[in-house]
Homo-oligomer: A and B are copies of this chain.
Amino acid sequence: MSNVVPGVSPDAPAPSAVSNRPDVKRDAHPFSRSQLEGLMTKRFFYIQAFEIYGGVGGLYDYGPTGAALQANIINQWRNHFIIEEEMLELDTTIMTLADVLKTSGHVDKFADWMCKDLKNGEIFRADHLVEGVIEARLEGDKQARAKEAGESIAVPAEAAGGDDKKSKKKKVKSSAVKLDDALVAEYNSTLAQIDNFDGKQLGELIRKYDIRSPESGNEVSEPIEFNLMFESSIGPTGQVKGYLRPETAQGHFVNFQRLLEFNNGRVPFASAQIGKSFRNEISPRAGLLRVREFTMAEIEHFVDPEDKNHERFDEVKNIEVPLLAKDVQESGKTDITVKTIGEAVSAGVIDNQTLGYFIGRIYLFLVKIGIDATRLRFRQHMSNEMAHYASDCWDAEIHTSYGWIECVGCADRSAYDLTVHSKRTKKDLVVQKAHKEPKVYDAFVPTIIKKNIGPKFKKDAKIVEEAILEMDQKKLAELESQLKNGSAPLKVCTGQTFELTTDVVTVEMKTIRETVREFTPNVIEPSFGIGRIFYSLLEHSFWTRAEDQDRGVLSLPPLVAPIKALIVPISSNEKLAPLVKQVSRKLRSAGVASRVDDSNASIGRRYARNDELGTPFACTLDFASLSKGTMTLRERDSTAQRIGPIDQVIDVIRQLCDASLDWEGACKILPEYSGQQDVEA
């Protein structure tokens, strides 16, 4: 998985989060990643796992707010995909038999290149090392050139998002050394292709550019392959090897026949699974974006390879999506084209309706949970970057302060997986589809004469028989004509050649009446990295108040916000307590997750805490609530307050949460509250 797109400078500042509400001024201050990260820790969204033991790279624990946000995202996902489309949900094991992953290609190919500091043993991911060192040299070159020209190059870190870039690469210090123009060009070209190099090529770059361990200055070893799967052994003998799954997909494929039977033997159908997967990254970095344990949500949609149309295509065909097709990238550009899904499929930019349908559904899902549509694009994989199993692939990429991040892959895995598992296990993983009308055609058919083939070829008889049965029409035609002339040479998979004669096989043209077509279905796989979506959503939701840069706000949509409403008694007076309980109970029966904040903090501080938790609404109970039965409703983003009878306010919140009402609509129902507008000042 590669996140940096060739041609997109990773130094481009992140666009600030978009506000489409005139009453909310979200872009007064530039985005600060370190401030967001501070909030994540302070409010226990997530932290590095085993913090009190010093922490472990690439492992994160989600606290109450993070776990709830994640659960809400998953819940929306389940509704949007599984329930809405009647997918077959699975829960298969994480511990996976090594044999299965050998067959799928992961044991041989799921690896990164690493190299070692030859003296102190420090380990680097080879491409990251080359990238880091070259970027540092280019930075040093810039500094040297600026000095020469007498320019100042100090850029306010926050404004350029520079604090973030630095923290990512802090290992590699730059020093102001000017480089040849030709070398600068070479370095830039190397960086643009960094994801395409294999171990040998990375080794050549390391020698050519004398790349060394950044801290120690020591030489590093040749890159060697490191498989990214966590290995373990199942049972007490140590003889059954297992891996923690690197994706949930194989659990679908090995159960294909059971799923097909459950679906009454028909395709298309889709299975879906939400669960943990594992990748033993060499050097985890970028917070939640490159981790060792993560939650995925994967769909495997099984289709007839001859009919990739989709029944519900009409529902998405008019959705406009930002596309970055492979031919554009291959011509060195990154221009996004906005097209409707219908146009893109007609024009062949997107290969088929099913792929197009899922791209549309992915777009709708991401925007629904709060991803900024202007920072979302679908990028097609170029041929050299495709996974070993894929025949076409579009990634939903979301723009963050780390650049464009692959958050959803939508790949056409063709018949790859089912074919390899079927070959390995000798089990049929196929669909039988009745022709509407029987298909009648002529074809060459071989007849093997069993009683002769054994004695003639002895131990090789089986291999010869298999080779004959695998022949296509062209080869059979050739065989037929050769046999007419006496004998035919047959080359088998072992490399041996055998002489066929008509006493062991005959070939005749026959009329075939085919009532059933048997085929291995193709698989379209939308695969969601929930942690990456989660993090991107937080970046898109975070901003700071115009009047006070220290006051962060998480503008999470009510649909996914961990808590929907905060209940705030204006004081700790005991008289308010029964009312607080009552409102809490009423909100619960209305299906609104709420929380009481009856701490001693000032009401302004409690609102501020609430903003950091992303809670969209706050109900404030005061003495008027006791005497008049009213309650105020504060909206997080605008800090505006409205007032109304308690039951009416609760009903408005319920509607705001299930998205049947927006804040503008709420303001038409509830009058403005002017009593304590200055309480937050």
| Known contacts A51-B254, A53-B254, A261-B44; A235 and B280 CB within 8 A of each other | yes
Cβ of A63 and Cβ of B259 under 8 Å apart? yes
- CB closest chain-B residue, reference A257: B52
Using CB atoms and an 8 Å cutoff, list the residues of chain A in contact with chain B: 43-44, 47, 49-53, 56-64, 66-68, 70-71, 83, 86, 88-97, 99-100, 114, 121, 123, 226, 230-237, 240, 242, 244, 251, 254-255, 257-259, 261-262, 264, 271, 275-276, 278, 280-282, 292-293, 421, 425, 427, 429, 588, 593, 595, 599
Q: Is the CB of B91 within 8 A of A67?
A: yes
Q: Tell me the interface secondary structure of chain A in the complex.
A: mixed
Q: Is the CB of A292 within 8 A of B52?
A: no
Residues of B within 8 Å of A230, CB to CB, are 95, 232-234
Determine which residue in A63, A233, A259, A275 has the highest number of CB atoms from chain B within 10 A of its CB, and name it.
Answer: A63
Separation of A478 and B255 alpha carbons in the complex (Å): 72
Whether B254 contacts A50 by the Cβ 8 Å rule is yes
Q: In the complex where A90-B63, A95-B293 touch, is A53 in contact with B278 (Cβ < 8 A)?
A: no
- The residue on B at minimum CB distance from A253 is B52
20 contacts between A and B (CB under 8 A): A49-B92, A49-B97, A50-B97, A51-B255, A53-B425, A57-B235, A58-B235, A59-B93, A60-B93, A61-B255, A63-B90, A64-B88, A64-B259, A68-B89, A94-B94, A95-B278, A114-B236, A123-B236, A275-B276, A276-B276
Q: Are A47 and B276 in contact (CB under 8 A)?
A: no
Q: Which residue of B lies closest to A229 (CB)?
A: B232
**How many copies are assembled?**
2
Choose among B234, B244, B595 the residue that contacts A56 (Cβ–Cβ < 8 A). B234
Query: Within the complex, which residue of B58, B92, B593 is in contact with A83, where a contact is CB–CB below 8 Å?
Result: B593
Choose among A226, A230, A282, A421 the residue with the greatest number of B CB atoms under 10 Å from its CB.
A230
Q: For A61, list chain B residues within 8 Å (CB).
A: 90-93, 251, 255
Which residue of B43, B62, B258 is within 8 Å of A47 (Cβ)? B258
Contacts of A599 in B (CB 8 A): 264
Name A254's contact: one of B52, B259, B282 (CB within 8 Å).
B52
Contact among B53, B240, B280 with A234 in the assembled complex (CB-CB below 8 Å): B280
Q: Which residue of B lies closest to A114 (CB)?
A: B236
Q: Assess whether A232 is in contact with B234, with CB atoms less than 8 Å apart.
A: no
What 3 pairs between A and B have smallest CB-CB spacing?
A64-B88, A62-B91, A61-B92
Residue from A95, A99, A255, A257 whose CB has the most chain B CB atoms within 10 Å: A95
CB contacts (< 8 Å) of A262 on chain B: these are: 43-44, 63-64
Can you name the residue of chain B whose Cβ is closest to the Cβ of A281? B235
Q: Which residues of B contact A233 (CB under 8 A)?
A: 230-231
Name the contact of A236 in the complex, choosing from B92, B99, B226 (C-beta under 8 A): B226
Neighbour of A95 across the interface among B59, B90, B235, B421, CB < 8 A:
B59
B51→A97 contact, CB < 8 A:
no
A608 to chain B, nearest CB (A): 15
Q: How far is the CA of A593 from the CA of B89 in the complex (A)?
A: 13
Q: Which of chain B's residues have a CB closer than 8 A to the CB of A234?
A: 56, 59, 230, 280, 292
Q: A50-B96, A63-B255 are in contact. List 4 more A-B contacts (CB 8 A).
A: A61-B251, A63-B262, A95-B293, A226-B236
Q: A56–B101 Cα gap in the complex (Å)? A: 14
Q: Report the nearest B residue to A284, measured CB to CB.
A: B235
Which B-chain residue is minimally distant from A103 (CB atoms)?
B53
The answer to whether B235 and A282 touch across the interface, beta carbons within 8 angstroms, is yes
Q: Once the chains bind, are B236 and A280 in contact (CB under 8 Å)?
A: yes
Select the residue from A49, A66, A99, A275 with max chain B CB neighbours within 10 A. Answer: A49
Verify A62–B595 contact, CB threshold 8 A. Answer: no
A221 to chain B, nearest CB (A): 12
Residues of B contacting A83 with CB < 8 Å? 588, 593
Q: Please indicate the chain B residues that have their CB under 8 angstroms from the CB of A86 in the complex.
A: 595
State the Cβ distance, A70 to closest chain B Cβ, in Å: 6
Complex CA gap A78/B242 in Å reads 32
Do residues B93 and A293 form an inter-chain contact, with CB atoms below 8 A?
A: yes
Set of chain B residues within 8 Å of A255, measured between Cβ atoms: 47, 51, 61, 63
Closest to A275 in B: B276
Residues of B within 8 A of A91 (CB): 61-62, 66-67, 70
**B residues in contact with A264, CB < 8 Å:** 599
Nearest CB of B to A267, in Å? 15
In the assembled complex, which residues on chain B have CB atoms less than 8 Å from the CB atom of A58? 235
